[in-house]
Structure 1
Amino acid sequence: MSDANNQTKAAPKHSAMHIAVGLLARRDYSRQQIQLKLQQKQYDADEIETTLDHCQQSGYLDDARFAALLLKSHISKGHGVNKIRQSMQQKGLSRALIEQVLLDSECDWFEVAKLKAQKKYGEAVPLDHPTRAKCIRYLMGQGFDYEQANYALAVEVD
Structure 2
Amino acid sequence: MFKKAQDAKPKEITYERVKGYFLWLIGKYGDYTSKTLMQKANLLFKEDTSFNEEALNHLIERGIVDDLRYAQRLTLSYSEKNIGPNKIKQKLYTKGFTSQIINECVESISNTEEDYLDKALALKIKKFGEPPIVDEKIKQKALRHLIGQGFSYSVANKAISHSSKEN
TM-score by length of 2: 0.79
For residue 162 of structure 2, what is the amino acid of its counterpart?
V
Q: How does 1:108-127 map to 2 (within 5 A)?
A: 108=112, 109-127=116-134
Cα deviation digits, residues 33-92 of structure 1 (max 9, x gap): 111111110254331111211111222211111111221232233222222212222222
Specify the alignment match of 2:150 in structure 1: 143
- Report the RMSD for the aligned CA atoms in angstroms: 2.7
1:39 to 37, 42, 46: 42
Distance 2:99 2:20 in 1: 29
Distance 2:83 2:92 in 1: 13
Deviation larger for 76-85 or 88-97? 76-85
Cα offset, 1:152, TM superposition? 2.0
Is 2:147–2:153's contact at 8 Å kept on the other side of the alignment? yes
Is 2:83–2:151's contact at 8 Å kept on the other side of the alignment? yes
Deviation larger for 73-82 or 17-26? 73-82
Cα offset, 1:153, TM superposition? 1.9
Query: What is the aligned residue count?
Result: 157
Is 1:84–1:143's contact at 8 Å kept on the other side of the alignment? yes
Distance 2:5 2:85 in 1: 57
Is 2:133–2:161's contact at 8 Å kept on the other side of the alignment? no
2:32 to 25, 29, 33: 29
Is 1:140–1:146's contact at 8 Å kept on the other side of the alignment? yes
Distance 1:54 1:118 in 2: 49
**Structure 2 unaligned blocks of 5 or more:** none
Specify the alignment match of 2:7 in structure 1: 6
Specify the alignment match of 2:19 in structure 1: 17
TM-score by length of 1: 0.83
For residue 15 of structure 1, what is the amino acid of its counterpart?
R
Specify the alignment match of 1:94 in structure 2: 98
Deviation larger for 12-21 or 25-34? 12-21
